[in-house]
A = this chain, B = another copy of it.
């Protein structure tokens, strides 16, 4: 509890104690890596501690529970994927171009670049009963970003824009289940293929 309390009590005035060598970053990194490699339930506190080189009990100096650790990783994952998408989208104007850039950024993050972002897709809130709410809340932050992107599309019906978002995000996320980095297509080309199918339509036109 102490760690958690201290955390939430920490104001902006915090003097930044000289613990630059703290193991907290290492812990987060290891947790992110392991959660996305083995899943949340498949990863033990021992695994993480061992990866960092400390004892299991020592983790509780930084996190009150395993779920808190997950929430921290997950939150940072949402932060980072939000950042990646926003950075990719920002310089662009055209709604479709922006959406495609978002797809590329998203897919590169969850398939290749970022263990934290990967966790956001890998770990289902439904699998972590007690932290479910907090995870859903985080995920919603990210979905709101996407809602902004799809809402900007020149589609007549609101329902189409929503369906498009669900269709696209679902397809991208599910790629984690079958994508192999040594396969023929990169995350980028994959994202573009998906977008192309959606923009041009697949039916023959007269």
Contact = CB atoms under 8 A, between A and B. Distances in A.
A115 B189 CA distance: 35
A42 B127 contact: yes
Band of interface residues on A: 35 or more
Number of copies: 4
Interface stretch (A25-33, A72-80, A82-90, A154-162): A154-162
The residue among A126, A155, A168 with the most chain B CB atoms within 10 A of its own CB is A126
Given A41-B42, A153-B202, A204-B154, A197 B167 contact: yes
Interface of A: 39, 41-42, 96, 124, 126-127, 129, 153-155, 159-160, 163-164, 166-175, 177-178, 190, 193-194, 197-205
Given A39-B124, A170-B177, 15 more contacts: A39-B41, A39-B126, A41-B41, A41-B42, A96-B203, A124-B177, A159-B193, A160-B193, A164-B197, A166-B171, A166-B175, A166-B178, A167-B194, A170-B173, A174-B174
